[in-house]
Each structure stands twice: as C-alpha cells, then as structure tokens.
C-alpha cells in the first residue's frame, strides 16, 4: 500500500480537483484506491457522484478507537474507488494528535487497510498543523499544486524549507503547476521557467479550464465529464507520473 497526499498551504489551488481526478484514474488502472477527504470543508464529496448519499461520520469514534476505519469507508463510489468523506469533527484532529505525541496516528489508522488497498490518497486542508505534519511524514509522496504567481512560488519555497527543517524528506515533495492561464503573461513566464522555479517538479501544468469547475456541479471526475479535454489529458499525465514515482512500473 502506498500513501500519497495532495497538499498546499494555500486554499483554492486545485488540490481537491486533482485528488479526485487522480483517485478516479488510479481506480480505473487496476489500482484499488481509497480517497480520504481530511478537509473539514469537505469539497471532495461534491466531485463524486452521489454526494448526497456520501455522508461523513464523526471522526471521534475512529480517533477514540471505538470503531475501525472500515466503518468510515464508503465502498466503491466507483468500482475500485473507496472514499472517506470529511466530517466537521475532523477539526478536532489536532487535539487528538497532541495527545498521541510520538506515534503517527494516520499510519496506525491506515495500517489495517494495507491488504486490500493499493493506494491511499489524502486530500488535505490548507493548514500547517500537527495533522499536516503527520501527513507529510506518512506519505510516500506529496503532490503540491502551485498556481504560477510569485506569491505562490514563495509559499512553495517555504513548504520545502519546512519539510527540510523537520527532516521529513524534501524529495517526497512533487510540485506541479495548477490553474494555469496562458493568456496571463506572468503565468506564461513562470511556467516557462519550469524546474528552475519548481525543483523536483512533475513537468506538467493543469490549465485553468471551466470543465474543471463544472466537476463540482456535475459531481463527476473529469475523466467522466470531459475525457477529451486538454485538462483531462494533463491529469492522465499526472497519474502516469505518480505511478512512476510509486512503483516505477505497474501498481502492485
């Protein structure tokens, strides 16, 4: 079982859109996937069909060890794609983590799933909290959407420094450009600088596209909504890059 996260200290940069699209593509690629929405604002549910039926459960039960993680999972929202929706109680995650200092609570929670699940995708809130630190620690790779503005590049640099300082393994961070509007000179300029701006970058840029916005309205991953769109092609490239990062060849 591999664990990845979509994370950025900035909100509204395309983390959830990417997490959902990659989760769907992975599940279609014979890779049993669990998508866990850790953001109490809970946007993932909107992007998945049947969002109304996908209700989050109080995490306290899980945190208190009163219920196994399996009870929180919605099986097969698509074939091969399991989902843990967010719940407002996720806000209290940090308190629990303070109490459990020393162990990685996320790792312990996910351990029972390692037999049947090939890939866990954590969709993170845009905070730098104890929870995020544990995510950064437990994840094999962390994918970071960066909108091509200097402010966003700056916060990417800060994240890199944070991961270095905490000795979490800076190489596990894999940034990619997100919401790129090539009509904007600044976006073009920054994206053209590629890996100079984003060292260890994935070499892909998700375009700013209205079809991505429509995912929320339609409750569909892009591969279902608009598989022939340029943005869908970029998400497929990102999935290929992730597969390469995690397994070199095929999921297994």
13 binds, among Mg ion, ligand ADP, none (CB under 5 to 8 A by kind): ligand ADP
HSE, CB side, 13 Å, CA atoms: give it for residue 245. Answer: 23
Closest to Mg ion by CB, 46 vs 162, is: 46
* 15 part of the interface to Mg ion, by CB under 5 A: yes
CB of 102 vs ligand ADP, minimal distance in Å: 30
Closest to ligand ADP by CB, 120 vs 238, is: 238
The CA distance from 221 to 203, in Å, is: 22
* 134 part of the interface to Mg ion, by CB under 5 A: no
What are the residue ranges of helices labelled H in the chain? 15-28, 44-47, 59-63, 93-99, 105-110, 130-138, 150-165, 185-193, 210-218, 222-225, 230-247
* 172 part of the interface to Mg ion, by CB under 5 A: no
Residue 104 tokens read as 């990685």
Decide: 24 and 81 in contact? Cβ < 8 Å: yes
* 3-class SS of residue 16: helix
**Cα-flanking dihedrals φ and ψ of residue 38, to 5°?**
-90, 0
Closest to Mg ion by CB, 117 vs 178, is: 178
CB of 15 vs Mg ion, minimal distance in Å: 5
213 binds, among ligand ADP, Mg ion, none (CB under 5 to 8 A by kind): ligand ADP
Task: Sketch the per residue contact string, 37 through 76, with Mg ion: x for CB under 5 A, - otherwise.
Answer: --x---x---------------------------------
């Amino acid at each position: 079982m591999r664990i990845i996260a979509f994370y950025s200290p900035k909100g509204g940069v395309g983390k959830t859109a990417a997490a959902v699209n990659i989760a769907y593509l992975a599940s279609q690629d014979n890779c049993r996937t669990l998508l866990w929405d850790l953001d109490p604002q809970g946007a993932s549910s909107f992007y998945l069909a049947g969002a109304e039926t996908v209700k989050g459960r109080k995490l306290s039960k899980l945190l208190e060890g009163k219920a196994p993680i399996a009870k929180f999972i919605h099986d097969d929202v698509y074939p091969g794609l399991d989902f843990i929706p967010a719940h407002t109680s996720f806000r209290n995650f940090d308190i629990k983590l303070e109490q459990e200092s020393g162990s990685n609570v996320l790792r312990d929670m996910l351990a029972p799933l390692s037999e049947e699940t090939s890939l866990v995708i954590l969709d993170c809130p845009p905070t730098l909290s104890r929870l995020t630190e544990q995510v950064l620690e437990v994840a094999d790779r962390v994918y970071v959407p960066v909108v091509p503005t200097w402010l966003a590049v700056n916060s990417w640099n800060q994240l890199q420094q944070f991961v270095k300082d905490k000795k979490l393994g800076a190489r596990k961070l894999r940034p990619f450009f997100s919401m790129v509007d090539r009509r904007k000179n600044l976006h073009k300029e920054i994206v053209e600088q590629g890996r100079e701006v984003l060292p260890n970058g994935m070499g892909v840029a998700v375009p700013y596209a209205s079809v991505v916005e429509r995912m929320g309205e339609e409750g569909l991953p892009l591969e279902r909504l608009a598989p022939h769109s340029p943005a869908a092609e970029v998400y497929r490239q990102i999935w290929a890059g992730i597969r390469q990062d995690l397994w070199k060849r095929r999921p297994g």
